[in-house]
Each structure stands twice: as structure tokens, then as C-alpha cells.
Amino acid sequence: MLSSSSPASTTAHPPPSPETYQTPLSLLSLPQITRRYVFKTLSLCLAAPSLSIAPVHARGLFQMPPLRLSNRYYLVRAGESDYESLGVINTNPVAKTSVDSGLSEKGKKQTVRAALQLKEMGACDRNCWLWPSITQRAYQAAEIIASINGISRSYIVPEYSFLDARGLGAYEGKKLDSISETKPPPITDGTPNESVSDVFVRVTQLMSILETQYSEDTVVIVSPDSDNLSILQAGVQGLDLRRHSELYFGPGEVRLLDADSIPVYKQPASAVYKCTNPPNCD
């Protein structure tokens, strides 16, 4: 062991002499780098044929109307709520999880019929995902659908904002027959006043998520109101959003979302109904 006062003994290696040093063969094979060599190399690179690169298809870039859908979709409106049974508008998101926003007795029966219709249509024969709004009546509807169709509760995915009932602003608390198709006037109680275009943006964002997250699956979308579904259907099929109400969903109504899913009795007579760039349908 060396003492702290004595220096450590090391063996010194003298540097190699020029006679013993050998240049690696890899360096000997390199050409001499000159300006002429650099320009010659660049000219060869520019003269080489360009490589064709296959385009990348990004599934997350969802546009309305889509070229195709990666999944199969069923649209379901939840059954009647307690507020709807009274004919009163209730769209404030603060109250969407309250008991009063749940299904009425009539609404429960409507939802059972919807669940049986999905079963008859074979919607969930190979399993399916249920995407309900977190609004009380929509989530209750999803639970009923899951129970009747033998779907595990782990396949229920609550949606917290994109499927909220259309905010009707100053119409809040009024009778259902007071609604107009224009943008509702604002109100200070926190209820949104949403136009058709506002809802269109929401449901487009929802579809973008679903088309990115799933592939070759079945998704059942459960909405608390009709407007979400009629605007979604009009957008996917390239129809004029200004006439989306002609695709009205009654409480408990079920519809497969495809090119032929508009019921015959709702088929429009006007050629103006088509829209290739929603929501700009002028």
C-alpha cells in the first residue's frame, strides 16, 4: 500500500516513433478532398433520379363527409327524460348528471325497445363499444343496452363534452315548442347557446377520436338529444346541415349510420340537400 507522502509509481510508455507508426488502410483509401472533388460529388447527387415516396395515410385526419369509415356505427337517442316528459327544455351542462336528467318511466321503456332493436339488428353480436354522453339519461340508456345485449360494463365509455345536449341558451326552462333553428339567444346562467355549426364541430371531433381509436369495430353512440345525431348523420352523409331537423331522432330511436341509413319517410325531395363542404352549405 502506498503512503500518502510517496508518489504512485507508474510505468511510462514513450510515444511511438515515426518508423513504427502505420497509417490505417481505411485512411489510405480515402480520396484527397479538394474543391473539384466536392463539386463533382454534388453534381452526381443532383443528377440522380428522385425517389418516389408513397404517401402516408393519416387516419386521425377526419373530415366531413369522410371518404370511408373504419368502423360500423349505430346512433341511439336515449329515451325520454323527466324534464322532457314535462315538455321543459333542460340543456344546462351543470345539471346533466342530476337525477332529474335521468330517464322517465316512459323513457326506460323506450330505451328497452331500443336495446332489443339493436339486438335484433345484430349490432353487438361480435361485441361493441358503447359511447354514451355522461348526461344521466344517456348513460342510463347505455347501461340498459349493455344489460340486454350481454355487453360488459367495461365496454361503456362515457363521453364528457362532445355529446352534451345542444345548449339552447335563453330557451332554457321554456317549453319545447319555443325552439327555433337559428342560434339561440345567450343567457347568463351558464347554458351554452349553440348554433348548428357549433354542434357540428363537436360531433366531428367525436368522430375523429373514434376513427383514430378503433378499427373494424362496432360503436354505439348514445346521445341525450336528437340534434347531436341528426347533425352527425347529415355531416357524415354530406347533407345540408340547415335541414338536419328532417333527420330528427325520436326518443329511443335507433339508426345504422351508413349511406342508406336515412329512413324512406325522411328522404328529402330537394336536390339542394346535398352539401360537399359542411358546415358551409351555401
How much of the chain, in percent, has pLDDT values that exceed 90?
51
pLDDT of 5: 47
- Residue 62 above 90 pLDDT? no
Find the mean pLDDT for residues 167-185.
82
At 114, the amino acid letter reads: A
- Read off the pLDDT band of 200 (50, 70, 90): very high
- Read off the pLDDT band of 1 (50, 70, 90): very low
pLDDT, tens digit, 9 for 90 and up, residues 207-240: 999 999 999 999 999 999 999 999 999 999 888 8
- Predicted TM-score of the model (pTM): 0.73
Do the Cβ atoms of 88 and 173 come closer than 8 Å?
A: yes
- Residue 160 above 90 pLDDT? yes
At 200, the amino acid letter reads: F
Contacting residues for 229 by C-beta, under 8 A, at least 6 apart? 75, 77, 221, 223, 247, 249, 255
pLDDT, tens digit, 9 for 90 and up, residues 240-256: 898 898 899 999 999 99
Between CA 133 and CA 225 the distance in angstroms is: 10
How much of the chain, in percent, has pLDDT values that exceed 70?
70
Taking the alpha carbons at both ends of the chain, their separation in whole angstroms is 93
Top-confidence residue, 32 or 20: 32
- Read off the pLDDT band of 123 (50, 70, 90): very high
- Residue 126 above 60 pLDDT? yes
pLDDT of 181: 66
